[in-house]
């Protein structure tokens, strides 16, 4: 008798909803007679309504590990991260208890000094592994056994170690399908619990092996990322946002992608600069649409609405306290329409370059500090030079501008002729995602469904 497959998806941060649910990966597995369970770190009726009704929802158990274990891992990870000149959104740890803060700082200093010595680093790494493999949680074990789970799927590495270790002890395969290439640079090493790892491309695979030489190369498969499978120039446009904007056929849409408010302050000055440059260029029939960042809950942008500027809110669910967020299906449809209708997309360097390239929309990047604009980086150009942007630069998938005059000139060029950048974007997608459209979904389905020990 063939053992029935029962897959458990762990939704840790919300990105899994777009990557596995909106994309159709889970529905395809269900259509193929697999049983699918989801454990949600944050539960709500709104989330459950977005999921395929055939999915079974299971509890999520939060079991934190001792702070010194996390600290040891962070210090060891930093040995990889410190080898680069770029850090993504550095965070400051906040303590309520002064005594704990003091202990943390003392231990951190001891660990940081120790890992500089090759032999001590080796000993600490082995200590870390022994501690991780010793973790176990009875609640997770009972959930896995009672529901006869045969595979567990995650999209973010190194989270909920008690689940990872418990699954390992119960001999349940753990599959990791990377959600973002940034995780290679922000999370450092990958824990040893994964039986199979799905990456976007060959470069990701090489980087993963460089940072984690202990990983068996055969465990790593190139599958693209189903997060992007709905984006293509042939995608159907919705009507709601189209009616709301009410653009004339001969009117150019200039799409401005706003950053998160904690990344950039006074970003409206870039918008004002864009308006000034469009006037200098002499473009007459146009509308600038500012797509507000999904993590922006301020009342900042509506102040800058004018006859030439319209604002579109991102239709996301964002639980700031729990760091859990995801786009509604309508937001993806709106974004597809905006890109379909856009003449050019403008913003700071970001992963939006992937969607813009898939939709064949020129992406003009602002890479310069300007007036009173403040960012979490000393120089805005640091975002352009981030490791995850390497393929963008190599293939000319976006145009970087490093002063206001260059911004004006490149914008003018794109409004006249964009063939070169569109060619670059096609190269970028082949290099970055390897696959595109619903071929990516099929790769993810195969990655999950066909794996056997």
Q: CATH number for the domain including 277?
A: 3.40.50.2000
- Is 1 within a domain? no
How many contiguous H segments (helices) and E segments (strands) does the chain have? 19, 17
Same domain, 144 and 197: yes
- Pick the last residue of a domain from 81, 108, 132: 132
- Pick the last residue of a domain from 112, 132, 152: 132
For residues 369 and 267, give the distance between their C-alpha atoms in angstroms, rounded to a whole number.
Answer: 11
- Alpha-carbon dihedral sign for residues 8, 13, 15, 18: positive
Same domain, 342 and 382: yes
- Is 204 within a domain? yes
Same domain, 293 and 374: yes
Same domain, 327 and 361: yes
Greatest C-alpha distance within the chain: 74
For 63, 83, 348, 383, 401, the CA distances from 375, given in Å and listed in that order, are 35, 23, 11, 10, 17
Same domain, 152 and 42: yes
Same domain, 43 and 90: no
- Is 234 within a domain? no
Q: Is 133 left (phi over 0), alpha (psi -120 to 50) or beta?
A: alpha
**In this structure, are residues 406 and 273 in contact, taking their beta carbons and an 8 Å threshold?**
no
Range of the domain at 283: 240-432
What tens-digit pLDDT sequence spans the chain (453 residues)?
A: 567 899 999 999 999 999 999 999 999 999 999 999 999 999 999 999 999 999 999 999 998 777 777 777 777 777 655 444 445 555 556 666 777 778 778 887 887 788 788 888 888 888 888 888 889 999 999 999 999 999 999 999 989 999 999 999 999 999 999 998 888 777 768 888 999 999 999 999 998 998 888 899 999 999 999 999 999 876 665 567 888 888 888 999 999 999 999 899 999 999 999 999 999 999 999 999 999 999 888 888 999 999 999 999 999 998 888 989 999 999 999 999 999 999 999 999 999 999 999 999 999 999 999 999 999 888 999 999 988 899 999 999 999 999 999 999 999 999 998 888 999 999 999 999 999 887 999 999 999 998 666
- Is 143 within a domain? yes
Same domain, 142 and 14: yes
- Pick the last residue of a domain from 108, 132, 156: 132
- Is 303 within a domain? yes
Same domain, 318 and 176: no
For residues 28 and 19, give the distance between their C-alpha atoms in angstroms, rounded to a whole number.
Answer: 13
Same domain, 325 and 425: yes
pTM passes above 0.75: yes
Same domain, 289 and 399: yes
Same domain, 319 and 248: yes
- Number of domain units in the chain: 3
Same domain, 402 and 287: yes
- Is 235 within a domain? no
**In this structure, are residues 341 and 253 in contact, taking their beta carbons and an 8 Å threshold?**
yes
Give the CA count within 13 Å in the CB-facing half-sphere of 51: 24
């Amino acid at each position: 008798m063939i053992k029935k497959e029962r897959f458990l998806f762990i939704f840790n941060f919300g990105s899994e909803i777009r990557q596995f649910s909106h994309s159709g990966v889970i529905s395809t597995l269900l259509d193929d007679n697999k049983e699918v369970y989801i454990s949600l770190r944050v539960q709500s009726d709104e989330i459950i309504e977005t999921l395929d009704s055939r999915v079974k929802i299971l509890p999520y158990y939060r079991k934190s590990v001792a702070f010194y274990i996390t600290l040891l891992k962070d210090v060891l990870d930093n040995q990889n991260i410190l080898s680069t000149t770029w850090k993504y959104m550095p965070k400051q740890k906040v303590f309520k208890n002064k005594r704990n803060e003091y202990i943390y700082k003392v231990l951190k200093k001891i660990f940081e000094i120790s890992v500089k010595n090759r032999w001590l680093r080796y000993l600490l790494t082995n200590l870390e592994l022994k501690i991780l493999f010793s973790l176990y949680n009875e609640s997770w074990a009972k959930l896995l056994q009672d529901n006869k789970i045969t595979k567990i799927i995650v999209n973010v590495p190194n989270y909920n170690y008690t689940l990872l270790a418990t699954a390992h002890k119960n001999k349940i395969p753990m599959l990791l399908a990377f959600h973002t290439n940034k995780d290679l640079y922000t999370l450092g090493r990958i824990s040893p619990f994964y039986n199979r790892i799905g990456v976007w491309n060959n470069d990701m695979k090489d980087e993963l092996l460089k940072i984690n030489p202990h990983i068996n190369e055969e465990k790593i498969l190139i599958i693209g990322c189903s997060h992007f499978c709905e984006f293509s120039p042939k995608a159907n446009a919705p009507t709601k946002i189209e009616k709301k904007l009410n653009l004339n056929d001969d009117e150019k849409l200039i799409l401005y992608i706003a950053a998160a408010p904690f990344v950039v302050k006074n970003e409206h000055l870039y918008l004002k600069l864009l308006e000034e440059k469009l006037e200098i260029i002499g473009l007459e029939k146009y509308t600038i649409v500012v797509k507000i960042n999904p993590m922006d809950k301020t009342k900042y942008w509506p102040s800058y609405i004018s006859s030439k500027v319209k604002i579109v809110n991102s239709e996301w669910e964002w639980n700031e306290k729990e760091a859990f967020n995801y786009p509604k299906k309508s937001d993806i449809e709106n974004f597809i329409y905006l890109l379909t209708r856009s003449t050019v997309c403008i913003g700071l360097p970001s992963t939006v370059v992937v969607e813009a390239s898939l939709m064949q929309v020129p992406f003009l990047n602002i890479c310069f500090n300007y007036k009173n604009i403040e960012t979490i980086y000393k120089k805005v150009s640091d975002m352009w030079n981030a490791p995850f942007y390497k393929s963008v630069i190599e293939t000319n998938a976006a145009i970087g501008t490093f002063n206001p005059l260059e911004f004006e000139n490149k914008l003018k060029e794109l409004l006249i002729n964009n063939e070169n950048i569109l060619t670059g974007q096609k190269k970028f997608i082949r290099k970055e995602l390897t696959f595109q459209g619903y071929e990516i979904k099929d790769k993810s389905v195969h990655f999950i469904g066909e794996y056997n020990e």
